[in-house]
Each structure stands twice: as structure tokens, then as C-alpha cells.
Amino acid sequence: MYEGAVQDLIDELGRLPGVGPKSAQRIAFHLLAAEPADVEQLAATLLRVKNEVKFCSICGNVAQAEVCRICSDARRDPAVICVVEEPKDVVAIERTREFRGRYHVLGGAISPIDGVGPDDLRIRELMVRLRDDVITELILATDPNLEGEATAPYLARLVKDMGITVTRLASGLPVGGDLEYADEVTLGRAFSGRRRIE
Amino acid sequence: MYEGAVQDLIDELGRLPGVGPKSAQRIAFHLLAAEPADVEQLAATLLRVKNEVKFCSICGNVAQAEVCRICSDARRDPAVICVVEEPKDVVAIERTREFRGRYHVLGGAISPIDGVGPDDLRIRELMVRLRDDVITELILATDPNLEGEATAPYLARLVKDMGITVTRLASGLPVGGDLEYADEVTLGRAFSGRRRIE
């Protein structure tokens, strides 16, 4: 146990996700040795994040304004919506530069174990968008895990009679990976999703 | 890239030791979802650490006051000083409850590669303590790595003619470890330091 503020900082850092007691201690002593201006800036940014960051009223992504950069960008195709679980998924997809439509951030996936039902996600807001705008394709890009795989067919069923094409991201072998190291579910998906080479 | 403050926070968190871009993102979104009061408290603790935390004028350990808790504790044996590299070493030794003397924190170890020489450490302050107080034993508890192993004999040489018993913490097999997994240096130390069983 350290004296006073150092121990308080170690305790508070240790509560952050992925930061164990050893890293909390390491970070605390790093900050203790750092320039006061740097630490003040970190503290100020923490407060700014809570005060400034909003969630886009259309897609639910993090935003600086009422509407996020992507939703307010007229060059993005308004007829295609890609549904993701979290804001970080938007960033991951944007990095591919493969997608020119807009997003809808659910805020998670259906998970009975964690007590997350459809009403805890931004599904109602998605249905409003599908009803009000002219949407031709809905891409379901929830995570390829248990919760994401359960959420995708749930959404597909809701949208069934609306005349919208519903697609799901392909599952298969990761590019650059070795076939022998792929788990059997991924390898099975790669087989069932195999495509003819023209 | 996220908009505004979120990206700033991810960037700043990513500069902390042991926090990569993925964990920085995870921590940022955790804080975004956290109670405002918790985030405000973390920001306040960061500022408090810089303002409140002092280093003990005697031993160099972190302290809330001019003199740390251990140095101002009359029940601690003033005749034995344990020399360590960092404040976290004090905490590690205190946890063992084996040591009832006082400490001296060097603030690192001699490391020519990192440009740390004897003058960059609190060695002068140690010599003053050894001269002014009645010290019977000096325990050298620098790390059992290259730098720590070089710093210990350097200090031992400085103290040589002062009539003080100089000791070094034992090296050997870690308790609970398997002999077969010990590296050869540790195993060699365990042999050369073997003790007769009475």
C-alpha cells in the first residue's frame, strides 16, 4: 500500500478494463514522473469526453455534434445501412474503405446471459429509419460470435416483409492465416461459403 | 479515427506504458459509458497525484508529507537500511513483513546504456545517512538483473571502510516453482547459495 493519492490513483486505474494491479502501478508511477502539463491534459481530456461527446441522433455512433460526420456526409449512399454493435466496429469497417453507405450502431447484441434484450438495443430507431427512408439493403455486421449470430437473424426476421435486401458479412478463413490453425467452425463456414473462381 | 475528444482520449491513453491502441480504445469507451462522477474522480485524482505526492526527504520513497510513514515510525529499527531501486520495491518488501528496518530508494540502478550513472541516483543522500546515523547493516536489495547486479557491488565498495555489514538478498529458486523450469543462472545461484539443513 502506498500513501494517499498514489494508492487512490492505482486503485482507480485498476478498475479500468484490461488494467491489472501491476499495470495500474506502472501507469501511476509513469504519471508521477511525467510532466505536470501532460497529466493535466489527460485529466482535462477525460472531462471533455464526458461533456463534449454525443451520440449521433440518426445512427447512434459517437459524434461531436447532433449528427455524426458520416450521417451528415451527402456523398454517402443513403440507401444502404450497415448494422454494427459498437462505434469501434464503424471505425474498423471505415478502415477497409469498402463501404460507402451509412451505419446503425445497436449499442451491443442480444445476450440473455448478460440481461441484454432487444429493447436495450437501438432496434426501434433502426425500424424508424427503415420505414421513413428509402433503404434498399441492410447489411448485418454484428460480431461473428454467439450474441452477434443470434442478433442478426432476429433483425432479419423483423425486416422480412419490408422488401429490403438483407445481407450478412461473409465468414471464412482470415486472410494471411494458416488453414491448419483455423478452428473447425471457421473452416466449416469457409467450406459452406466457398465461391466459384471465374 | 473517431471524432474529437474520443480520439484525443484514445491517443493520450495509448501513450501510457503497457496500454496499446486496442486497450486505449477499450478504456475510452468504458469511460464514455461510465458514470460522470467516476470519470470526474479519476481526473481529480490525476491532478491530486501531481500536487500532493512528495518524496520523503530521508529515504526518497513516495510520501504524503515531508517524511514518509516508515521513516517517521519510531518502531522501525533505525540501524538497518534496505536499499531498493523504486518505491514499488518498498511495497513488495513490506508485504513480506520480514523487514523491520528502514529503506533507501535509489530511484533506479546504474545503467550506462540508459545513461544512468551514480550521480543520477540518490547515492549521495545514502552516504550522508550512513555517516550521520548509527547504521549497523546495509541490505542491498536492488533487482537481480544486469543493472541491479552492477549497482550492488558499486555501493558495497563505497561503504567498504565504514564498518557496516553489507548484505545482498539471496538469489535462488522461486518458492512454488518447478526446478526444471528455472533458467540456468538462477539454478546456478541456487547451487552456489545452498545451505546446510540442521
Residues 6+ apart with CB under 8 A from A132: none
From residue A69, give the alpha-carbon distance in Å to each of A61, A132, B11: 10, 21, 20
Does B93 contact A at CB distance below 8 Å? Answer: no
Whether residue A183 has pLDDT greater than 90: no
pTM tops 0.95? no
Confidence of residue B161 (pLDDT cuts 50, 70, 90): confident
Residue with cell 485529466: A43
| H or E segment and range at residue A63 | strand A62-63
- Lowest average pLDDT, out of A13-22, A30-39, B185-194, goes to B185-194
Beta strands in chain B (DSSP E): 54-55, 62-63, 80-84, 102-105, 137-140, 165-168
pLDDT of residue A54: 86
Query: Is A50 close to B31, i.e. CB distance below 8 A?
Result: yes
Give me the CATH topology for the region A76-168: Dna Topoisomerase Vi A Subunit; Chain: A, domain 2 (3.40.1360)
Q: What would the pLDDT profile of A82-129 be if each residue is shown by its tens digit?
A: 999 999 889 888 888 888 999 999 999 999 999 999 999 999 999 999
Does A71 contact B at CB distance below 8 Å? Answer: no
Q: State the complex-level ipTM.
A: 0.73
CA distance B5 to chain A (A): 5
Residues 6+ apart with CB under 8 A from B167: B137, B138, B139, B140
**Interface A:B, Cβ pairs < 8 A:** 139
pLDDT of residue A178: 77
pLDDT of residue A14: 93
CA distance A103 to chain B (A): 14
Q: Which residues of chain B neighbour A69 with C-beta distances below 8 Å?
A: 3
Which of B25, B35, B50 to probe the A interface (max A CBs under 10 A)? Answer: B50
